[in-house]
């Protein structure tokens, strides 16, 4: 029997990327001389269980192989062709550069070639391979500096928070600043005092009998808004039945330039506003589109488009929409983001002939929606401006010369839709035909006054879009960090979502108050932005790693030492005084404290007096027509009392800790199959449903009522 020969390596070059999806796409573009494999993300990182930074030895990181990646490293080592080349084609940002550096060291590669491209297309990949260079050590240093600084701050800050607040909480360098923004917005809302104001308008009739509504704008040349009903009544009395004279007619043409193509932050904002996507979901979808070769690199703060892309867009616009939609010259945009350098081109399709329908067939509706948004923003950025006719008519009461009240009416009419033809949206247009005949000096007959009482509204809470916009404006974080910042503060329980808006939890407030009190430097907006600038300087080789980390770590340790000495743990969790509440034990005053499971009232003399009261609502707040109230403990027959825990309210024996019996919040309604009480449960997707408390013996689930069609 003949011996089986070992198969020889048929390729001369090994190209490594982070993602199997990316590897699959690139594999189609390279010949048989190449083998493409994936590291599946980072292969080396700091261990989670320890600080892993040698602060006495130039802050050297103590990296280790990520669990499960040892096997991948061995496979990659075996795949290295003898006498061939190894290309490291990780993403073109600092994170990608760091992965390439780690792979080089783990595989003990002597002269690997660094490959970067902005899009995964055949031409781009082959050109990048032909122009391969070396790993950029400055970018690697910048990523290391961010990783080490975040580890030092997070680890040391969390230690003091465990000690001064409670165990298990944590804090991060940039996340804590984002949390502060949300907390301060909520404080601003709570301090807001609503003020009354009135909309005041007059309905007039023109010579053709058309009713037109004009709004009060100014009084003696200054903006004027009535502030109460008395002012409104006085104004109505003063103006009386007077007709109105047209004192001015202004007609002008307004041009609106197109918006630039999308950057990372604008993509996240638009995805949230248009589709309700979280930043994390938007970036996940964009990553899939990029790795499949359909869009350019999705982590960028540049608004540039390559000349090749601009030529393709101009050709498409001219052929599909007409020459009138093409501006004489290409449109260029200034990048507003501070320190923009993560990539050198905005997010755009790699093939403009690919439609959202094509993407929907390959991926799904969510991917198609985001792709279409990217396509429309990129294409419309090279289309002629929108032109509109704006008409404003100003009128004044004929019989009242002093004071001089000016009312205004008018509107806007599109003359040429321009870039809006592709992008869509924009303001609803008004029919100006009724007022185009009005000229200065015309008299308009008064029909009636129209008034409406209104109140000023508190500033809106942040949603993900507005938070990303603010972080970018302040220079906090970079394109690749926005999504993780927002998801992290929610995962830690510091921020919750109400509809699309974000608001701080009590725990989030406690952490922020502690940091603002003892670590002002760390949560200062300007300081955090300055750190980002210094990380950029490291990437450009202007600042060295060790002095930078030194300048951050040593002040931190001094602040921790002071906080450890001066901050009293019992004072940290106090949110404020409880007005009108007396301690049930000593009849003294009470304060609002925050515990692991929410707010409660505690005696101001704690720990001398341990009197406390539930603030989340006791038995009196329960609807016993809906919820079952146990008569006694099923084990010891003692009274069952209502408690508040990590997962909400529950019943517990009053003799705890002698008796540890607990019961969930059962419903009065019983299971139709086994007659046990039903109970509200939460699915792993976060939805509330009603099932049998006898689960798993009884698996009955109550069907939700279908919503009636309107």
φ, ψ (nearest 5 deg) of residue 320: -90, -35
CB atoms within 10 A of CB 96: 22
CA-angle at 261, arms to 256 and 265, nearest 5°:
110
ω into 425 cis (within 30 of 0): no
Judge whether 653 and 661 are in contact, CB under 8 Å: yes
Instruction: Look at strands 677-682 and 688-692 and give their pairing.
Output: antiparallel
- The pair of three-digit structure tokens given for residue 117, joined into one six-digit string: 């491209």
527 noted as active-site residue: no
> Which of 267, 317, 312 lies closest to 289 in space, CA to CA?
267
Helix (H, G, I), strand (E, B) or coil at 669: strand
Q: Which of 59, 87, 297, 545 is catalytic?
A: 297
Helix (H, G, I), strand (E, B) or coil at 501: strand
Q: Which single residue is written with the structure tokens 């932005």? A: 529
ω into 366 cis (within 30 of 0): no
**CA 134 distance to own-chain centroid:** 35
CA-CA distance, 301 to 323, in Å (whole number)?
31
Helix (H, G, I), strand (E, B) or coil at 425: coil
What is the sign of the dihedral through the CA atoms of 162, 166, 169 and 170? negative
> Which of 111, 114, 86, 110 lies closest to 100 in space, CA to CA?
114
**CA 345 distance to own-chain centroid:** 22
**Residue 414 CB partners (closer than 8 Å, separation 6+):** 386, 387, 388, 389, 420, 429
Q: Which single residue is written with the structure tokens 């509330």? A: 688
> How far are the Cα atoms of 70, 334, 489 from residue 599, in angstroms, in the given order?
46, 49, 20
Helix (H) or strand (E) holding 218: strand 211-219
> How far are the Cα atoms of 240, 402, 450, 544, 667 from residue 399, in angstroms, in the given order?
9, 9, 19, 76, 70
> How far are the Cα atoms of 218, 429, 632 from residue 233, in angstroms, in the given order?
17, 33, 64
Judge whether 138 and 540 are in contact, CB under 8 Å: yes
Helix (H, G, I), strand (E, B) or coil at 253: strand
Helices (H) and strands (E) in the chain — how many of each?
19, 27
> Which of 119, 126, 122 lies closest to 291 in space, CA to CA?
119
Catalytic positions, please? 297
């Amino acid at each position: 029997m003949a011996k089986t020969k070992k198969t020889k390596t048929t390729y001369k070059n090994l190209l490594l990327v982070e993602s199997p999806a990316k590897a699959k796409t690139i594999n189609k573009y390279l010949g048989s001389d190449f083998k493409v494999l994936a590291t599946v993300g980072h292969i080396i990182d700091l261990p989670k269980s320890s600080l892993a930074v040698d602060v006495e030895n130039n802050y050297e990181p103590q990296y280790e192989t990520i669990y499960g990646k040892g096997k991948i490293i061995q496979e990659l080592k075996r795949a290295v062709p003898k006498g061939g080349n190894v290309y490291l084609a990780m993403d073109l940002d600092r994170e990608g550069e760091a992965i390439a550096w780690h792979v080089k060291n783990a595989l003990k590669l002597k002269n690997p070639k660094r490959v970067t491209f902005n899009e995964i297309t055949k031409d781009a990949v082959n050109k990048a391979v032909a122009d391969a260079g070396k790993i950029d050590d400055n970018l690697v240093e910048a990523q290391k500096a961010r990783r080490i600084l975040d580890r030092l701050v997070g680890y040391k800050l969390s230690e003091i928070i465990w000690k001064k607040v409670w165990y298990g909480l944590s804090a991060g360098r940039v996340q804590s600043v984002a949390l502060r923004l949300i907390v301060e917005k909520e404080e601003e809302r709570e301090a807001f005092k609503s003020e009354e104001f009135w909309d005041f308008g007059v309905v007039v009739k023109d010579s053709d009998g058309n009713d037109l509504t004009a709004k009060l704008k100014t009084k003696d040349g200054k903006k004027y808004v009535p502030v109460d009903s008395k002012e409104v009544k006085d104004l109505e009395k003063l103006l009386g039945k007077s007709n109105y004279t047209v004192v001015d007619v202004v007609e002008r043409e307004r041009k609106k330039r197109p918006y630039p193509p999308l950057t990372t932050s604008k993509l996240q904002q638009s995805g949230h506003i248009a589709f309700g996507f979280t930043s994390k979901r938007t970036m996940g979808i964009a990553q899939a589109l990029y790795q499949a070769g359909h869009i350019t690199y999705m982590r960028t703060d540049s608004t540039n488009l390559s000349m090749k892309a601009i030529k393709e867009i101009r050709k498409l616009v001219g052929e599909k929409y007409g020459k009138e939609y093409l501006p004489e010259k290409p449109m260029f945009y200034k990048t507003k983001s501070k320190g923009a350098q993560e990539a050198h081109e905005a997010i755009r399709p790699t093939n403009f002939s690919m439609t959202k329908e094509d993407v929907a067939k390959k991926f799904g509706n969510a991917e198609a929606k985001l792709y279409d948004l990217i396509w429309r923003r990129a294409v419309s950025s090279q289309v002629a401006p929108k032109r509109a006719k704006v008409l404003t008519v100003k009128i004044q009461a004929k019989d009242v010369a002093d004071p001089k009240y000016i009312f205004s009416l008018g509107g806007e009419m599109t003359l040429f839709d321009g870039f809006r033809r592709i992008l869509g949206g924009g303001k609803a247009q008004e029919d100006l035909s009724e007022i185009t005949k009005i000229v200065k000096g015309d008299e308009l007959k008064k029909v009636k006054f129209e008034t409406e009482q209104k109140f000023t509204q508190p500033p809106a809470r942040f949603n993900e879009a507005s938070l990303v916009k603010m972080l970018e404006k302040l220079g906090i974080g970079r394109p690749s960090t926005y999504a993780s910042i927002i998801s992290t503060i929610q995962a830690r329980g510091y921020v919750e979502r109400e509809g699309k808006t974000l608001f701080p939890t009590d725990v989030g407030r406690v952490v922020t108050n502690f940091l603002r009190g003892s670590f002002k430097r760390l949560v200062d907006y300007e300081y955090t932005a300055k750190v980002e600038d210094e990380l950029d300087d490291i990437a450009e080789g202007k600042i060295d790693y060790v002095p930078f980390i030194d300048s951050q770590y040593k002040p931190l340790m001094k602040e921790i030492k002071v906080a450890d000495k001066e901050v009293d743990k019992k004072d940290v969790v106090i949110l404020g005084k409880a007005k009108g509440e007396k301690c049930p034990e000593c009849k003294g005053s009470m304060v609002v404290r925050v515990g692991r499971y929410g707010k409660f009232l505690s005696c101001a003399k704690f720990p001398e007096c341990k009197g406390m009261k539930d603030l989340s609502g006791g038995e009196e707040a329960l609807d016993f027509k809906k919820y079952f109230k146990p008569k006694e403990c099923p084990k010891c027959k003692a009274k069952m009392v209502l408690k508040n825990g990590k997962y909400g309210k529950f019943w517990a024996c009053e003799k705890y800790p002698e008796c540890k019996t607990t019961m969930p919040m059962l419903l009065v309604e019983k299971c139709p199959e086994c007659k046990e009480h039903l109970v509200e449960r939460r699915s792993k997707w976060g939805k509330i449903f009603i099932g049998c408390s006898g689960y798993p013996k009884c698996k009955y689930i109550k069907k939700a009522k279908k919503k009636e069609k309107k």
